[in-house]
Amino acid sequence: MSLCLLSAGCGVLSPDGPDQDEPIVVGTTSAPSTLDPAASWDGSWELFRNVYQTLLSYPNGATTPRPDAARSCAFTDSSNQVYRCELRGGLTFSDGDPLDAAAVKYSIDRIRDIDVDGGPAGLLGSLDRVQAPSEHEVVFHLNKPDATFPFVLATPAMSIVDPDTYPARAVRRDGEAVGSGPYALKSFAEGERAELVRNDRYDGFAERRNDAVTIEYFDSSQDMVQALRAGRIQVTFRGLAANDVIDLESGTAEEEDLQLFEGTGADISYLVFDPDDPWTGRKAVRRAVAQVIDRAAIAHDVYRDTVDPLYSMVPQGVVGHTTGFFDEFGDPSVGKARTILTRAGIDEPVPLTLWYTTDRYGSETAREFKVLERQLEASGLFTVTLRSRPWKTYVAGYQKGEYQVFGRGWFPDFPDAENFIAPFVGEQNALGTPYAVPAITDELLPRSRRESDRAEVVAEFEAAQRVLVDDARLLPLWQGRQYVATSEDISGAERALDPSTIMMMWELHRKTSW
């Protein structure tokens, strides 16, 4: 077995292999919750990126958005409030219907018209209106300066859909998808598989290195890795458990024909506290939890050091990252936590119910929450009850405010510190839990959005993180690394992740000669 860095460009070639026309089968534990871009602000984007098209996207190696369905895009004013895109000529959807400026306007407008709870409308807070003054021209008028708007347009949430097959004010629920991306969705079985085939009508930046990909959805990393070893799938992506990563790294004889690629990830794991609960609505309780939790122990004991402890909502590798929670709380301390509670007049053990999802973030999630339970109860300051649900019902629960404390993961929409702060604050956010914090939403974020050079807004993001640390309503736990395992005859995995760690399936291909 070979161990490679995702950025190293390494690959293994095989003299013989399966027919090139056979689909490459990719396994993941992250199944889409919907096929309609207007309804998703989650891992469904992994499928969307390959089936739909956006005005802007990320060609291989790019960290800033580049034209895709658009021929060109740019702000046309000095205040970053008018953004104009010119479309490529002759674009069509996979069913042959034309993709023009009216279709782009329709797609963006329906996101806001449908306004799914916790859905992508939250990304469009700076958008005032969309115009389509000509067949190939789209103009976005913003209600405030927003230099990050091109990043928003590059997210799969802004996928362009066919107005003839997607209702304007309702989510499409027939189990089908029509886009203009590199692939067409041939078939979809919820929770089982998605079959993608080359979309011959596609016109964009992607250079497809295969003709078909089948994505298999697994309930566990163990089942996924077994399928890889048995040759039933050729690639694993999203959801490799720590034990399986360690086993693959060990290079045992039976795994000599596998490759493991490792790279820095931008995904984070964190806890969310209900501000309306009698206990977690009190800052002292939240700060005491922050003082007790041992992130390093979670990273080592649960994830076997395949993740890194995280002390801010902005992860390492993103401009604006800090270690705010460590700076504020230092090492875990029961004594300091007791003092926090005592000063707030809390002398009894605080009852906490911690919720987690059973089928979204990997098989270690249950163990992680067991460790959290032990850490909190061992302090003598908390009594903990653990509860769990499958993802679909779990989402509905937190959107209704049913959970006192719940775990979430976040895969970035785009590689900017803004995207690790803005989605979680304000009255409408990705958590479905209103978080009014005017210092961030009314001052720091608007100030940062006036600056096109994102390296010049570090001070604003550092200040925003100090506010989040003080409130402790969001408690970062760890930052992931990216692991992709493949059979030895597959190449391209080292190029296949975009800056948001979404897999660009078109980069995968078989090697048939040395």
Dump pLDDT digits (tens) for 83-104: 999 999 999 999 999 999 999 9
Above 50 in pLDDT, residue 263? yes
pLDDT score of 8: 42
Place of tokens 């692991």: 483
pLDDT score of 11: 44
* Residues sharing a CB contact under 8 Å with residue 150, sequence separation 6 or more, in sequence order: 56, 64, 65, 73, 83
pLDDT score of 9: 44
**What is the DSSP-derived secondary structure letter of residue 138?**
E
* Residues sharing a CB contact under 8 Å with residue 231, sequence separation 6 or more, in sequence order: 487
**What is the DSSP-derived secondary structure letter of residue 23?**
P
d(CA 71, CA 69): 7
Above 80 in pLDDT, residue 335? yes
Q: What is the mean pLDDT of the chain?
A: 91
pLDDT score of 145: 93
Tokens of 166: 């997607």
HSE-up of residue 419 (Cα within 13 Å, Cβ side): 28
pLDDT score of 393: 93
Above 60 in pLDDT, residue 502? yes
DSSP string, 217-235: E-S-HHHHHHHHHTTS-SE
Question: For 459-481, what is the mean pLDDT?
Answer: 96
Give the alpha-carbon dihedral of 186, 172, 151, 29, to 10 degrees.
-60
- Name the burial class of residue 447, with classes exposed (0-12), middle (13-18) and buried (19+) by CB atoms within 10 angstroms of its CB: middle
**What is the DSSP-derived secondary structure letter of residue 376?**
H
d(CA 486, CA 209): 16
Measured in whole angstroms, the distance separating CA 431 from the mean position of its chain's CA atoms is 13
- The SS3 assignment for 485 reads strand
Of 228, 411, 385, 435, which is closest to residue 318 (Cα–Cα)? 411
Between 361 and 403, residue with greater pLDDT:
403
Strands (E) across 180-332 are located at 183-189, 193-198, 212-217, 235-237, 258-273, 307-309
pLDDT score of 251: 66
Q: What are phi and psi of 87, to 5 degrees?
A: -80, 155
Please report which confidence band the pLDDT of residue 13 belongs to, taking 50, 70 and 90 as the band edges: very low
Using a pLDDT cut of 90, give the percent of the chain over it.
Answer: 75
d(CA 18, CA 350): 59
d(CA 271, CA 354): 9
Question: For 356-381, what is the mean pLDDT?
Answer: 93
Task: Looking at 349-490, list the stretches that DSSP marks H as alpha helix, in order from N- to C-terminal side.
Answer: 365-378, 391-399, 438, 445-449, 458-471
Q: What are residue 3's DSSP bridge partners?
A: 260
Above 60 in pLDDT, residue 513? no
Residues in the chain, total: 514
pLDDT score of 2: 46
pLDDT score of 16: 47
d(CA 352, CA 373): 9
How do residues 220-246 score in pLDDT, each as one tens digit? 899 999 999 999 999 998 889 899 999
C-alpha distances (whole Å) from 64 to each of 57, 76, 79, 81 are 8, 18, 20, 19
pLDDT score of 14: 41
pLDDT score of 412: 83
Between 514 and 53, residue with greater pLDDT:
53
Above 60 in pLDDT, residue 108? yes
d(CA 302, CA 306): 9
Question: For 264-286, what is the mean pLDDT?
Answer: 94
Place of tokens 């999630």: 365
| pTM beyond cutoff 0.95 | no
Please report which confidence band the pLDDT of residue 20 belongs to, taking 50, 70 and 90 as the band edges: low
Above 80 in pLDDT, residue 5? no
Above 70 in pLDDT, residue 7? no
Above 60 in pLDDT, residue 1? no
Cβ proximity of 260 and 474 under 8 Å? no
Please report which confidence band the pLDDT of residue 41 belongs to, taking 50, 70 and 90 as the band edges: confident
Above 50 in pLDDT, residue 12? no
How do residues 116-170 score in pLDDT, each as one tens digit? 987 899 889 899 999 999 999 999 999 999 999 999 999 999 999 999 999 999 9
Above 70 in pLDDT, residue 218? yes
